[in-house]
């Protein structure tokens, strides 16, 4: 089925989404820019030539994703969900079938077999990581969580043609001081000092990135011009967004269906000069 079409009408749909110009043949390893361990992005790309759009629309899409620890007959099992504050810890988890066996085979989506998103309950502390698969099929990644409290872990993957996102909680020791969501704003500054402007035209979210007053053209990140995760305040559901059809060159654009009232935190990631940067916006729907 055509996933984006079927999804119309569902406001709270989970998706890791890529937008903007999908520049072919990006030679830069997208992992270089963040703390994720570098691994063979090129090898994965070569065995799976699909564009982000094909990958996104290929599998069955659930109306709501990212709210359950088990779905599609598989379960997310974290070895140790307790982490110490401010320490770099090795986080290991696996995807198990209904008989408890660890799943080994995953399909490449957006150039990776596994995407991991971590965000604190108050939607601070966003991280997007790419774990390495161990010989037994489990996944490991170094993660450092600076603030105490509860974090949501989203494992996003595709197997048997089914795009699936499972989620569970991580706990970091200490008394949590949860902060209110920042007020909605049309502009924000990324890590690394890029100024980002958000414009919403109907269902389209358009981000223009600049530095020192000059518009920046992003480099390919995971095979696309940018990456957007939208999390809903309250239940941390993902909001469905997908890459815009058009590309006007200077902006990274996504289509979305912001239908239910509420507030969402948008996390845009983009690559420039070999580094991945993250910027966050609060979007309110009345
Ligand atoms: Cu990813």
In angstroms, rounded to a whole number, what is the distance separating the alpha carbons of residues 255 and 8?
A: 11
Cα 146 to ligand 1 centre (Å):
21
What is the whole-number distance in angstroms between the Cα of residue 286 and the centre of ligand 1?
30
Ligand 1 centroid, distance to 129 Cα (angstroms): 6
Residue 243 has pLDDT above 80, yes or no: no
Residue 273 has pLDDT above 90, yes or no: yes
Distance (angstroms) between ligand 1 centre and the Cα of 220 equals: 13
CA 131–ligand 1 middle distance (angstroms):
9
The second-level CATH assignment, the architecture, of 70-172 is Sandwich (2.60)
Question: With 50 as the cut, is the pLDDT of residue 172 above it?
Answer: yes
pLDDT digits (tens, 9 = 90+) for 60-104: 454 567 899 999 899 999 999 999 999 999 999 999 999 999 999
What is the CA(251)–ligand 1 centre distance, in A?
21
- Per CATH, the architecture of 15-56+180-285 is what? Sandwich (2.60)
pLDDT higher than 60, residue 263: yes
Q: In this predicted structure, what is the pLDDT of residue 242?
A: 67
User: How many angstroms does the Cα of residue 114 sit away from the middle of ligand 1?
Assistant: 7
127 C-alpha to ligand 1 centroid (Å) = 10
CA of 130 to the centre of ligand 1 (A): 6
110 CA to middle of ligand 1, Å? Answer: 7
Q: Output the average pLDDT for the chain.
A: 80
For residues 30, 154, 205, 29, the Cα torsion angle rounded to the nearest 10 degrees is 0
Spacing, Cα 86 to ligand 1 middle (Å)? 23
User: pLDDT tens digit string along 19-65?
Assistant: 443 333 333 343 434 444 434 333 333 333 333 333 343 344 545 67
State the pLDDT confidence band at 261, using cuts at 50, 70 and 90. Answer: confident
Report the separation in Å between the CA atom of 115 and the middle of ligand 1, taken as the mean of its atom positions: 4
Centroid of ligand 1 to alpha carbon of 218 (angstroms): 17
Find the 118 Cα to ligand 1 centroid distance in Å.
11
- In angstroms, the CA 264 to CA 250 distance is 25
Tens of pLDDT, residues 189-227: 999 999 999 998 888 899 999 999 999 999 988 888 888
Q: pLDDT tens digits, residue range 121-165?
A: 999 999 999 999 999 999 999 999 999 999 999 999 999 998 889
Structural domain boundaries in the chain: 15-56+180-285, 70-172
Q: Is 15-56+180-285's fold the same as 70-172's?
A: yes
Q: How far is the CA of 128 from the centre of ligand 1 (A)?
A: 6
Residue 58: predicted pLDDT: 37
């Amino acid at each position: 089925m055509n996933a984006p079409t079927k999804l119309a009408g569902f406001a709270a749909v989970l998706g890791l989404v890529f937008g903007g110009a999908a520049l072919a043949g990006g030679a830069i390893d997208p992992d270089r820019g963040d703390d994720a361990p570098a691994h063979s992005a090129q090898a994965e790309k070569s065995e799976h030539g699909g564009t982000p759009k094909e990958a996104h629309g290929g599998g069955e899409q659930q109306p709501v994703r990212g709210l359950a620890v088990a779905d599609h007959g598989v379960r997310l099992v974290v070895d140790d969900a307790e982490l110490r504050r401010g320490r770099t810890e090795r986080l290991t988890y696996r995807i198990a079938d209904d008989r408890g066996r660890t799943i080994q085979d995953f399909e490449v989506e957006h150039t990776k077999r596994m995407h991991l998103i971590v965000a604190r309950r108050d939607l601070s502390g966003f991280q997007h990581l790419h774990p390495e698969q161990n010989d037994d099929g489990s996944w490991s990644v170094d993660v450092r969580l600076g603030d105490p409290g509860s974090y949501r872990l989203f494992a996003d993957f595709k197997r048997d043609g089914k795009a699936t996102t499972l989620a569970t909680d991580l706990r970091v020791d200490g008394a949590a001081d949860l902060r209110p969501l920042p007020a909605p704003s049309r502009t924000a500054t990324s890590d690394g000092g890029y100024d980002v402007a958000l414009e919403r035209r109907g269902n389209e979210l358009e981000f223009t990135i600049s530095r020192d007053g000059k518009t920046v053209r992003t480099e390919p990140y995971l095979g696309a011009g940018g990456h957007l995760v939208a999390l809903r305040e309250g239940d941390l559901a993902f909001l469905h967004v997908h890459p815009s059809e058009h590309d006007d060159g200077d902006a990274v654009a996504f289509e979305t269906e912001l239908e239910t009232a509420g507030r969402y935190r948008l996390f845009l990631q983009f690559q420039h000069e070999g580094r991945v940067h993250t910027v966050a916006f609060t979007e309110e729907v009345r």
